[in-house]
Amino acid sequence: MKLLLKAIIVLFLNVLLFSCTEQKLDQTTKIESFSKVWGFLKYYHPEIAKGKKDWDQEYLSKIEVIKQIQTKDELNEFYSKWIKGLGEVPECITCNDEIPDSLKVNLNLDWISNSSLFNNEVKKQLDYIKTNRNQGDNYYVSAAPEIGNTLFPNEKRYAESTYPSENMRLLALARYWNIIDYFFPYKYKTDDNWEDVLPAQIPNFIEAKDSVEYHLAVLKMVAKINDSHGYVIFDNYIVNEFWGDNYVPFLFHTYEDKVVVTDFFDEKLCKNNDIQRGDIITAVNQQSMEDRINYIAEYYGGSNKNAVMRDMLPSIFNGKSDSLDITFERNGKQLNKKIRRYPLDSIAFNMPYDTSTVKILNDGIVYFNMDLLKEKEALNILEKHKNAKAMIFDVRNHSDGFAMYEVAKFLNDKKKEFSQFSKPNLKYPGTYTFYTDSSGYCGEENEDYYKGKVILLCNAYTQSHAEYTLMALQTAPNVTLIGSQTAGADGNVSEIPLPGGITTLISGIGVFYPDGRETQRIGIVPDIEVYPTPEGLKANKDEILDKALETINQI
């Protein structure tokens, strides 16, 4: 009995001692929670939405307080006092929570209920603001006229310094993370759970020791959205200090984690370095091409592998030194050599480009380059070739703005819906609304529509408006799409300014087929899939176009 009593007393004392010695919070946890609360208040609190308080400065001043806080009790005392000081939040009588689950795929405010971090008082305060959120205009976010993608016109770029202070770098991370969390329509499709990205990125932004590392941290962060529209535009060329300013003088194509030389930017320089079309480069500076590609991919966040490989091409071979060692295959033999790299202004770039809008191929087949076919001339040109056996529309490019609608009139017998959209719901950030408008329809009543075979060509360079063009032209009767996976980034682009004179981009609206099929990351799926081969690249063949001609002749 005495032993049992002694054990109970020891257990009681241990529990008492643990409760009196609250564990310290680590810096990442504190900064993560503060960044989330700050972003939530920015878009949900009616007073903050008015823009009367400089919310960036609020972050910069309060983050210093956060860094000094040690315990959960101190953190909650800070949050409770801070939230109370922001002003009254009136009861919202127009807030609508009856939203279908399909429009809430991006909404994740579960962190508000995190009892291991927030006490009941703070959870109630945050939940009340969520329930009675801002329903009017918000100074920090608005919708583009007609389209509806989000705009962030009052975000400051702080371009005076390419290497912002630590707190300013954390502000950049918090701003970007919250904008993606609430307003990126495809957040639910990212490879990494967006909740995990914030704590993982905090050390990168804190530890960036100079402007180059800060810019690289931004690149890695943006890559996490897996969006081929996720470009980063710098006011300067600081990142070149990392990648280097010297380039190889040849054009190349990636193939199964290898690189195939396809053409010469500067034939003389290539001859001097004994570079031949069809050379398959398997390693560079003793690093396998697979490892090189995987390393570079951290900084390129395209929607799919095709788009990532496309975007990383300039970074595969460029560098600081004027030469590099390569391992390559030629005529079945593996060889090693050193080749020169050159500044861009030393490369002639005299490679010829085909600028034909229309070409007559063989057997009554007409080819159209959709990048060069202009809206005003499209119908007249098409009418001239209305008796063609088949028409090929090459959309391996951006494609002209509205020519697609003129082509669709020519190809279709009636008006057809080809797309629908989703846009952020600014009255409930994190949720979305679906809509259709006139831009999602193409064609018109036309008894004399084109009745021949229609072939569409696509590849990784088919992105955004070009993918939208394919969706419209796919409505035509007797149409076949041939090529490789497209870039998988459709929808109007939104800009996100960041400290350090940086601008980043995202797909600002969601684009879907009328039946709800997705296009983001997936791209527009070819009916017949064709990828270039080393043999075809060496022979300078257009294997996608060749497959189109073969398909037509089989009819």
pLDDT in tens, the chain (555 residues): 444 444 454 444 444 334 434 579 999 999 999 999 999 999 999 999 999 999 999 999 999 999 999 999 999 999 999 999 999 999 999 998 899 999 999 999 999 999 999 999 999 999 999 999 999 999 999 999 989 999 999 999 999 999 999 999 999 999 999 999 999 999 999 999 999 999 999 999 999 999 999 999 999 999 999 999 999 999 988 998 899 999 999 999 988 888 999 999 999 999 999 999 999 999 999 999 999 999 999 999 999 999 999 999 989 999 999 999 999 999 999 999 999 999 999 999 988 888 999 999 988 999 999 999 999 999 999 999 999 999 999 999 989 789 999 999 999 999 999 999 999 999 999 999 999 999 999 999 999 999 999 999 999 999 999 999 999 999 999 999 999 999 999 999 999 999 999 999 999 999 999 999 999 999 999 999 999 998 998 898 999 999 999 999 886
Return d(Cα 505, Cα 4) in angstroms, integer: 66
User: Which pLDDT does position 257 carry in this prediction?
Assistant: 80
Spatial CA neighbour of 222 closest among 300, 152, 305, 336: 300
Residue whose token pair is 């810019």: 215
Return d(Cα 407, Cα 412) in angstroms, integer: 9
Side-chain half-sphere exposure of 286, counting CA atoms within 13 A: 0
Residue 425 in 3-state DSSP? coil
User: Which pLDDT does position 359 carry in this prediction?
Assistant: 96
Query: 229: which DSSP letter?
Result: T
Span 464-513, pLDDT tens digits: 999 999 999 999 999 999 999 999 999 999 999 999 999 999 999 999 99
The domain segmentation of the chain, as residue ranges, is 20-137, 241-346, 358-553
What Rg, from alpha-carbon coordinates, does the chain have? 28
User: Which pLDDT does position 237 carry in this prediction?
Assistant: 85
User: Which pLDDT does position 18 carry in this prediction?
Assistant: 40
pTM assigned to the model = 0.94
Spatial CA neighbour of 253 closest among 2, 459, 27: 459
Return d(Cα 421, Cα 418) in angstroms, integer: 11
User: Which pLDDT does position 555 carry in this prediction?
Assistant: 66
User: Which pLDDT does position 258 carry in this prediction?
Assistant: 84
What phi and psi, each to the nearest 5 degrees, are found at residue 241? -65, -25
Tokens of 466: 């070009």
Return d(Cα 471, Cα 488) in angstroms, integer: 12
User: Which pLDDT does position 14 carry in this prediction?
Assistant: 44
Residue whose token pair is 């081929």: 228
Question: What superfamily would CATH give domain 241-346?
Answer: PDZ domain (2.30.42.10)
C-alpha dihedral sign at 226, 228, 234, 240: positive
Return d(Cα 243, Cα 120) in angstroms, integer: 50
Span 381-401, pLDDT tens digits: 999 999 999 999 999 998 978
Give the residues across from 255 on adjacent strands: 258
User: Which pLDDT does position 7 carry in this prediction?
Assistant: 45
Return d(Cα 496, Cα 232) in angstroms, integer: 9
Tokens of 532: 């270039």
Q: Under CATH, which number does the domain 358-553 receive?
A: 3.90.226.10
Tokens of 365: 């087949």
Tokens of 271: 């001859």
User: Which pLDDT does position 19 carry in this prediction?
Assistant: 41
